[in-house]
Amino acid sequence: MAQMSSSEAFIKEYQERFEKKLRENEIDLLEHWKAQLDRVNTMRPDSVASFQVQITKLSEMMANRIKVLKKE
């Protein structure tokens, strides 16, 4: 098997680090939104309407975050 050139090795290492960081960021993101959903779930709303209000608030939080990320 032919040896990789140093630039190929660098690119491979950089790509692996990038993919690892991407996975870590995705895990952090999912943990954050799961915690938000868990918080809504434990509220035990009195009615469907109050539950819908909480879901709407969560949806608005997500929409705001998306908007901020798109601006960057």
Tens-place pLDDT, residues 8-31:
989 999 999 999 999 999 999 999
pLDDT score of 35? 93
Rounded distance between C-alpha atoms, residue 8 and residue 10, angstroms: 5
Contacts of 55 (CB under 8 A, 6+ apart): 40
Global pTM?
0.67
> Tell me, what DSSP letter sits at residue 38?
H
Our separate counts of H helices and E strands in the chain read 2, 0
